[in-house]
Chains A and B, each alone.
Chain A
Amino acid sequence: MTHTATRIRSVGPQEVRARLGLPDAMVASKKTDRLDDHFRRFIAHSPFLTMATADAEGRADCSPRGDYPGFVKVLDDRTLAVPDRPGNKIADSFGNLAENDGVGLLFLVPGMRETLRVNGRAHVTDEPDVLARMEAEGRRPVLAVVVEVAEVYFHCGRALIRSRLWDPASRALADEMPSVGEVFTEQYGLDVPPEVIERKLEDGYRKLY
């Protein structure tokens, strides 16, 4: 059986370029490898990012990271560090980074349409001086991801404008979603009331650090 995706026509890079046209010079030249004061200020006010990694075969993964604004520490103008807070312990990112050190980060600042993009190479650290700077609620993370910056740039705000991401009215979309308890009981065929799952989840959410 073939997956639907493989039956859908694939367009090669030259053809993609032909359809899109060329980026204008300013956009092409805005990428740099230095974290200047503007990039640092964005990172210092960002409470959320996504981290993309891939394994040796190119199997990709993207995971959310969030904390108080500035939870990502800029160590110098080529280096930053992302703390690892308690999560689902699946650690796909760490597994991938062990095989393939490429990493892509996308930082958000609530209310801001432009996003910050950082691409580079990463490794996992337990360096005490790095972890000491990442204490939150009195707890120090056990590990952190250190990123050596290869490319950093501001990404234009069109995607966030079109998505109305920061429009308070957009929050009504969440009302159309079933509760996570309902989703899990159906997806896993569980014979427990959804409220039990939700309560368990909420209990877990009390431990954020």
Chain B
Amino acid sequence: MTPPTATPATAPTTAPTQATVVDRIDRVAGDVVAVTLRGTEGPLATWEPGAHIDLRLPNWLTRQYSLCGDPADRDTYRVAVRHDRLSRGGSEYVHRFLRPGRPLPVSLPRNHFPLLPAPRYLFVAGGIGITPVLPMLRAAVRAGVPAGLLYVGPSPDVMPFAAELCAEYGTVVRVVATRQEGRPDLGALAAGLDEDTLVYCCGPAPLLAAAAGAFPARRLYTERFRPSARTFGPDTAFEVVCRGSGRTVPVAADESMLDALTHAGHPLPAGCREGVCGSCELAVARGEIEHRDDIGAPAGRMYPCVSRARSPRLVVDL
């Protein structure tokens, strides 16, 4: 019988991983657990506030979570995971089936949400969007840079780390529970802000939209959980030439470049498949890329889960 060549996109990839073991799982809010991962092969890779890692879960799914621990701690990574009631299998797995003691490979940290130097900061976090903001606030306070945090959520019991933040940072932190207080007035907040303040916002789409309406774009940095609603031209077929293997892979109009490459035997890490996580990042040597991600790909790089080609072919490093 012919050996099978068709490969589903959940196939293992050769992307570099770090070996960790689940050290502990703590409930930090109604439907949020914090997972502490301990490196098992020496110090873990360094990271800066705003970075995230991919967890390669035992059910073959790859999911991205912001690092919310202390960058100075090289022994452990900490992430927080909200149980999504409409889970496609990632957060449900972490909540129901992940156990301390289990090995869990993770990616190297990636940072699409870096904290740039500034004389003062305002952090705006919604719900689980607090995770990348935690190390940012800590870094700013440690460096003695004036900073404030507006932390928005339905009620304090479902807002992870709310009590700890208030206890540790006092008046720097303002928690707004929308069920009692309604949504905060970001416009009023923006009006009272110093000109040189950088604003970092992470949270659900309505909060990001409100922030985009309130703060000047050049001073606002955001990170999304889900892609923004945008429209693109019709999908067309193109070819991908893999420099390493010398193979040419056709991408049909009705499939993603990521799926075409994976099915052709070039599996790439695949996380969100929505152009927000960056796990499938690929170097492009030649050809014109049509970027459709929400990250802002660096020059010569693309996210083939959503992005396609404007030219008939792309030459990639595979």
Measured between alpha carbons, how far is A136 from B9 in the docked complex, in Å? Answer: 9
Q: Produce 1/0 per residue, B84-122, CB < 8 A to A.
A: 001111001100110000000000000000000000000
List the A side residues contacting B216 at CB < 8 Å: none
Is B175's CB within 8 Å of the partner chain A?
no
List the A side residues contacting B264 at CB < 8 Å: 206
Is A175's CB within 8 Å of the partner chain B?
yes
Which stretch from B53-61, B149-157, B237-245, B283-291 is at the chain A interface?
Answer: B53-61
Contact of A208 among B2, B87, B263 (CB under 8 A): B263
List the B side residues contacting A44 at CB < 8 Å: 59, 92-93, 96-97
Given A68-B60, A70-B93: A137 and B4 interface contact (C-beta under 8 Å): no
Contact B88 A134 (CB under 8 A): yes
Is B42's CB within 8 Å of the partner chain A?
no
Measured between alpha carbons, how far is A44 from B264 in the docked complex, in Å? Answer: 28
Contact A68 B305 (CB under 8 A): no
Is B259's CB within 8 Å of the partner chain A?
yes
Contact B96 A68 (CB under 8 A): no
Contact of A69 among B2, B59, B263, B273 (CB under 8 A): B59
Is A121's CB within 8 Å of the partner chain B?
no
Q: How many residues of A contact B (CB 8 A)?
A: 34
Contact A179 B2 (CB under 8 A): yes
Given A44-B59, A177-B1: A137 and B9 interface contact (C-beta under 8 Å): yes
List the A side residues contacting B197 at CB < 8 Å: none
Given A41-B97, A44-B97, A138-B305: A68 and B89 interface contact (C-beta under 8 Å): yes
Is A102's CB within 8 Å of the partner chain B?
no
Contact B1 A174 (CB under 8 A): yes
List the B side residues contacting A208 at CB < 8 Å: 6, 8-9, 263
Q: How far does the Cβ of B90 sit from chain A's closest Cβ, in whole Å?
A: 10
List the A side residues contacting B93 at CB < 8 Å: 44, 70
Is A202's CB within 8 Å of the partner chain B?
yes
The B226-274 residues at the A interface (CB cut-off 8 A) are: 255-256, 259, 263-264, 270, 273-274
Contact A137 B259 (CB under 8 A): yes
Q: Produce 1/0 per residue, A26-54, CB < 8 A to B.
A: 00000000000100110011010000000
10 extra A-B contacts, CB within 8 A, seeds A70-B59, A137-B9 = A37-B96, A44-B92, A68-B10, A129-B86, A134-B88, A137-B273, A138-B259, A179-B1, A180-B2, A205-B5
9 A-B residue pairs with Cβ-Cβ distance under 8 Å, sorted by A, are A68-B61, A136-B88, A137-B8, A138-B259, A179-B2, A202-B2, A202-B6, A205-B5, A207-B255
